[in-house]
Amino acid sequence: MHAADNVAIVANDGGLPAGTALPGGLVLRDKVPQGHKVALRDLAQGEAVIRYNVPVGYARQPIPAGSWVHERLLDIPAARALQGLPMATRPAPAWEPLEGLTFEGYVNADGSVGTRNLLAITTTVQCVAGVVGVATQRIRDELLPHYPNVDGVVALEHTYGCGVAIDAPGAEIPIRTLRHISLNPNFGGEVLVVSLGCEKLQPERLLPPGTIPVRDEREASPDVVCLQHDSHVGFMSMIDDIVARARPHLERLNARRRQTVPASALVVGVQCGGSDAFSGVTANPAVGHMADLLVRAGATVMFSENTEVRDAVEQLTARSASPQVAEDIVRELAWYDAYLDRGRVDRIANTTPGNKAGGLSNIAEKAMGSIIKSGTAAIASVLAPGDKLRPNQKGLVFAATPASDFICGTLQLAAGMNLHVFTTGRGTPYGLAACPVVKVATRTDLARRWHDLMDMNAGRIADGEITIEEAGWELLHLLLDVASGRRTWAEHWKLQNALVLFNPAPVT
């Protein structure tokens, strides 16, 4: 990955057997699986193992040239302290604006733009999930055929709302997350709420006055169905009420049409999951180039995953657009360090068996491949977990979230994401009901085997077929098509992962 590296990764499908002679004359001493590291020279005990021109570990024992370098041979570098960091020291790239890029989207009353036209049903508590599930299916079966311009109905089911210390520090995070998801641009400003009635998260606390943009004074309060209301006699009266309340929302959504809007209206969340050693070689660099193009076009790009950028913190603070942005990054990462410390773990707990099987020895190596998704633009602003983007909050944004695929995706939805890019090397069928997810494979083998789950094959970069830059442009045009209505594979198969609210507060 860099001329100064003392390891390289094996790109060949199936890896390479011991005895393989590489073009430079090096002979492999071990069988090395695909994506795993091989020592390019003799490494002494305690010597730094260099990939991406940074230490990703220290040799626990002497490692001869040609050896397989895996996690059992490495000690992880210590986490970089959050003091003495370079703060807004790197000049922003001098780019020309990228003009003329458009897509067909749904323009909302508040100026935001949806890539889908969905009816969302917000729930205040998990207790109502079963009832809402039945009602949602009935809306799909009975009502949606009469509203052809509505793309679907989404139940915002979650595991929060009661049995929690709702006033404890940290409890505000899941509440504001659910509030802001309810206002996602793909829902067109229509808010229908189902409450049980006795839960801690009452509708007025979830959506206080002034939260919902209103068309007239009659809609100053959210449209709420309370299952415990005296008017409900029997299960079917609850279902009938929800279905009846859905009709006017569907009428308004159905009246909307796609309009040509500039690419600057995109809010793209980027994320990786099931990562492997190719993530930082193919898919994530391609996403990074695409992110730079979108920033040049005036759009918003969010990258996240606290533990997967923690080892690159000096890169983040140096790239910050101002010292204040750098301080915001430090604040969020310090908060997350303390959160992990309360659980007596640290960033090392992040890597999975699949990551390691794919060649990633530890979180330090994983982080260096993950951060590339953010491209090279200056970091314009920072969001705390559950925060929502302001209308003028453009450019590259660090949305501080846990690295869990489902929690990160949920928080990016709350921030206002209207399109999602997800890279994977090991493979995942991940999808979101509220937002189209474009999945990018890091390896050609994965793209071949999962041909009807992966939307793009970035493995062609490693195969020598296309460059990172070409892949970035290809991904950009794919995103514009998807934003205009082209279905992703996840949408085709209706693959939808559950919302997972991040709740650092106690459960009672």
What average pLDDT does the segment 20-43 reach?
96
Domain end position, chosen among 57, 75, 93: 75
- Domain closes at, from 75, 104, 137: 75
Q: Tell me whether strands 192-195 and 118-123 are parallel, antiparallel or unpaired.
A: parallel
Determine the pLDDT at residue 120. 97
- Residue 209: the pLDDT is 87
Band (pLDDT 50/70/90 cuts) for residue 397 is very high
| Residues 154 and 209 occupy one common structural domain | yes
- pLDDT over 70, % of the chain: 98
pLDDT for residue 185 is more than 80: yes
Q: How confident is the model at residue 211 (pLDDT cuts 50, 70, 90)?
A: confident
Largest CA distance in the chain: 82
In a domain, 102, yes or no: no
- Find the domain containing 293 and state its range: 273-493
Cβ distance 482 to 263 under 8 Å?
Answer: no
Please report the DSSP string for 39-61 in residue order. ESS-B-TTPEEEETTEEEEEESS
pTM as predicted: 0.95
Looking at the structure, tell me whether residues 239 and 286 fall in a common domain.
Answer: no
pLDDT of residue 215: 59
The pLDDT assigned to 212 comes to: 81
Counting the structural domains of the chain, the total is 3
Dihedral angle of Cα 432, 335, 305, 391, to the nearest 10 degrees: 60
Task: Give yes or no: residues 425 and 284 share one domain.
Answer: yes
CA distances from 368 to 29, 283, 356, 468 (A): 27, 13, 15, 17
Q: 488 and 421 in contact (C-beta within 8 Å)?
A: no
Any domain includes 309: yes
Q: What is the pLDDT of residue 210?
A: 83
Confidence band, pLDDT 50/70/90 cuts, at residue 221: low
What's the mean pLDDT when you consider all of the chain? 96
Look at residue 217 in the predicted model and tell me its pLDDT.
53
> For 238-281, how does the pLDDT look when each residue is reduced to its tens digit (9 = 90+)?
999 999 999 999 999 999 999 999 999 999 999 999 999 999 99
Is pLDDT of 288 > 90? yes
Residue 454 and residue 390 in one domain: yes
Has residue 153 got a pLDDT over 70? yes
Does 100 score more than 60 pLDDT? yes
